Structure 1
Amino acid sequence: MKKLIFCSLMLAVIVIVLGAYTRLTDAGLGCPDWPGCYGELFVPASTDKVAAANAAFPARPVEASKAWSEMIHRYFAGTLGLLIFSIAAWAAIKRDPRMPLGLPLFLCVLVVFQAALGMWTVTLNLLPVAVMGHLMGGFGVLACLFVMHLRVNPITCRDRLKSARRLLGFAFVGMFILGCQIALGGWTSANYAALACTNFPVCEGQWWTQIDLPGAYTVPVAANYEFGVHGYSERMTMHIIHRAGALVTFVYLLTLGIWLLRTGSKLMNTAGAALIVVLSAQVLLGISNVVMSLPLTVAVAHNFVAACLLLVMVWIIYQLSHLEGGTTWLNRSR
């Protein structure tokens, strides 16, 4: 069971990276239908099938590279879904106290909703709400799988940590801030606003005179949302808000990391160091996206490190929640 959960966790990371690659290479509509591709299980390759596909979808002629990018993402996501349902079945049969049935069942529901969001992303022609929701759902699946992994692989710790309760509250707020920042990044990406500002640390020109919050966070009615439908001021606002959120997230999580380094607990010292390193890498990647005009490898890495940052925060919260008066709950229960 440990191996199944670990494989699912690694596959979830791969799915997030593939999803980022698909989005950043403008392949989100590489297959204009769902769940197949031009009505086929695989991307049409023969002359006859390509001709039939082009006739069925004249507005979306076959582009093999984009179609394969989309379908590979779907294959991996589908495999992940099957593994998660297998975990839920195992939890229902074995009734292992380390794995309450509620979490696997919740994850199954989340996977079904995530599949629906994937379908709506295509059928609604990249509606930003669906695209951002699909991204957040993927991060949610990853976090749940990591909690499962931690539950079946407990760490014995005898560190004393009197400030665990205060740190836990601080960490929960940090997780909320991080979640908001990931959502802001997803919204910026879904609306093709990543390059709305090309200067750093501030946007070009008199950007403060063009802030349009209502326009930036509403969705105009359109037949197709590919390449975005918002105006420059609205996209620039999305970008500026995402940068402001990044600053708040950096300061808050850096403070948390420093606090963890000063606890005297080896486990929390490790957690604090990991948080600061991953947080710094994420900030550098974000700056590089602006300075280097969104290179594909850096943009994909930005998504991957965001996932790593989420996992570090889940780890911190999980371990703090089990620290009470000197030993972990897991250690005492033994």
Structure 2
Amino acid sequence: MTRPTFITRPLLRNLAWFAVAFALLVIVFGAFVRLSNAGLSCPDWPTCYGKLTWPKHDHEIEAANAAFPERAVESHKAWREQVHRFLAGGLILTTFTLAAFAVLRRREFGSLAGVLVGASVLIVFQALLGMWTVTWKLKPVVVMAHLLGGLSTFSLLSYVALRLSLAPFGRVDTAALRRLVVVGLVLVALQIALGGWTSANYAALACGTDFPTCAGQWWPATDFREAFVLWRGIGVNYEGGVLDADARTAIQLSHRIGALLVFGHLLGVVAAAWRRGFGRWALAVLAALLLQIALGVSNVLLGLPLPVATAHNAGAALLLLVLVGLLVRLRPAPSPLAG
């Protein structure tokens, strides 16, 4: 006997929001691991010094140091990396459960089943990126892709949760605003990629603690050619970065210019949403945008404190969530799930 829709839909919606919260936790904890320089604290994968957990006792540490002489055990960092892996594994299981549930009820959940299958495929690739982050020793392009993959998974899960929670606006005169929001999402994604590249190349403080100028100048010496070489081969240890000061400065300036472009466009989204009667959504986008800008500037002025730098990653996820929510609210035709 088929279960009534009113039972399955709330269950999937609640599980979807749980997955969104879980994905945010994985993203923030992953940022904490990376920014606390713990990304290579377990030199192997998926184990940590050959253990399911990590070396904690003196005899375990001694054995691990003998087995991995190239990387001395730092237990205060190793637990962070391995716990992050456990959390990522939990998110994979949660996403698979959601996808299986939606596929089984695909007549009711329609295209959302395909979105969740896509999220499941993406999260498997995300796990591979996590492995390559370790085995390729923090290769910047992999670290950047890992961040993008995590936030893309978060966005897909958010889209599902929001589709199950928000009714469509139902008007056809919002097409221009929808296009503005889509462009905004693309710009934010590009800016996140630039942020990941900045972090992976240890360029966050390339200008020192100077803002809005950089090292006392509006345009100091830069090397954009070296700054954006994506592939430098395998076997290099990128911990601490390999670029010189001019290349790191070029990356930092690019991130600042990108932030200015995103800020200008999203102010346009806020104004357009406000004019079309989406005042609450306009304020939500504005609040998330200003928070993210404030966190980014604070990172520079305060010298990249770990709590602020970690919160900057959470702010990116919040901005994506609000923009995806506005996009879902603007869809012009009623969804089969909306009734």
1:203 aligns with 214
Which of these residues, 53, 59, 66, is aligned with residue 64 of structure 2? 53
Matching residue's letter, 1:270:
R
Which of these residues, 319, 322, 328, is aligned with residue 312 of structure 1? 322
User: Unaligned 5+ residue runs, structure 2?
Assistant: 1-11
- Given that residues 28 and 70 in structure 1 are in contact (C-alpha distance below 8 angstroms), is that contact kept between their aligned partners in structure 2? yes
Consecutive aligned runs of 4 or more in structure 1 exceeding 6 Å deviation: none
> The residue matched to 1:35 in structure 2 has which SS?
coil
Q: Report whether the alignment pairs 1:90 with 2:101.
A: yes
Matching residue's letter, 2:250:
T
Q: Among the aligned pairs, what percent are the same residue?
A: 44
Q: Report whether the alignment pairs 1:258 with 2:268.
A: no
1:115 aligns with 127
CA shift in 2, pair 1:52/1:11, >3 Å: same
1:243 aligns with 256
Query: Displacement of 1:319 after TM fit?
Result: 1.7
Query: Displacement of 1:331 after TM fit?
Result: 8.7
Matching residue's letter, 1:314:
V
Instruction: Tell me whether 216-225 or 64-73 shows the greater mean CA deviation.
Output: 216-225
Query: Displacement of 1:332 after TM fit?
Result: 10
Aligned length: 324
Query: 1: distance between equivalents of 2:338 and 2:306?
Result: 48
Query: 1: distance between equivalents of 2:252 and 2:318?
Result: 22
2:159 aligns with 147
Which of these residues, 2, 16, 23, is aligned with residue 12 of structure 1? 23
> The residue matched to 1:97 in structure 2 has which SS?
helix
1:278 aligns with 288
Q: Deviations over 1:146-170 (max 9, x none)?
A: 1111222232657xx5640111111
- Given that residues 220 and 229 in structure 1 are in contact (C-alpha distance below 8 angstroms), is that contact kept between their aligned partners in structure 2? no
> The residue matched to 2:109 in structure 1 has which SS?
coil
Instruction: Tell me whether 204-213 or 222-231 shows the greater mean CA deviation.
Output: 204-213
- Given that residues 261 and 269 in structure 1 are in contact (C-alpha distance below 8 angstroms), is that contact kept between their aligned partners in structure 2? yes
- Given that residues 282 and 305 in structure 1 are in contact (C-alpha distance below 8 angstroms), is that contact kept between their aligned partners in structure 2? yes
Query: Displacement of 1:12 after TM fit?
Result: 0.2
1:226 aligns with 239
Query: 2: distance between equivalents of 1:197 and 1:53?
Result: 39
Which of these residues, 122, 140, 148, is aligned with residue 128 of structure 1? 140
Query: 1: distance between equivalents of 2:179 and 2:24?
Result: 27
CA shift in 2, pair 1:12/1:96, >3 Å: farther
Query: 2: distance between equivalents of 1:205 and 1:220?
Result: 31
| TM-score, scaled relative to structure 1 | 0.92
Q: Report whether the alignment pairs 1:102 with 2:107.
A: no
Query: 2: distance between equivalents of 1:29 and 1:49?
Result: 18
> The residue matched to 2:108 in structure 1 has which SS?
coil
Query: 1: distance between equivalents of 2:302 and 2:259?
Result: 18
1:192 aligns with 202
- Given that residues 227 and 243 in structure 2 are in contact (C-alpha distance below 8 angstroms), is that contact kept between their aligned partners in structure 1? yes
Query: 2: distance between equivalents of 1:42 and 1:209?
Result: 46
Query: 2: distance between equivalents of 1:146 and 1:16?
Result: 14
Matching residue's letter, 1:236:
T
Query: 1: distance between equivalents of 2:97 and 2:18?
Result: 12
1:25 aligns with 36
Instruction: Tell me whether 311-320 or 11-20 shows the greater mean CA deviation.
Output: 311-320
Query: 2: distance between equivalents of 1:207 and 1:49?
Result: 52
> The residue matched to 1:208 in structure 2 has which SS?
coil
- Given that residues 157 and 331 in structure 1 are in contact (C-alpha distance below 8 angstroms), is that contact kept between their aligned partners in structure 2? no
- Given that residues 126 and 149 in structure 2 are in contact (C-alpha distance below 8 angstroms), is that contact kept between their aligned partners in structure 1? yes
Matching residue's letter, 2:84:
H
Query: 2: distance between equivalents of 1:209 and 1:152?
Result: 49
Query: Displacement of 1:96 after TM fit?
Result: 4.5
Query: 2: distance between equivalents of 1:204 and 1:106?
Result: 44
2:9 aligns with none
Matching residue's letter, 1:11:
F
Query: 1: distance between equivalents of 2:110 and 2:131?
Result: 30
Query: 1: distance between equivalents of 2:336 and 2:279?
Result: 19
Q: Report whether the alignment pairs 1:70 with 2:112.
A: no
- Given that residues 98 and 151 in structure 1 are in contact (C-alpha distance below 8 angstroms), is that contact kept between their aligned partners in structure 2? no
Query: 2: distance between equivalents of 1:288 and 1:183?
Result: 20
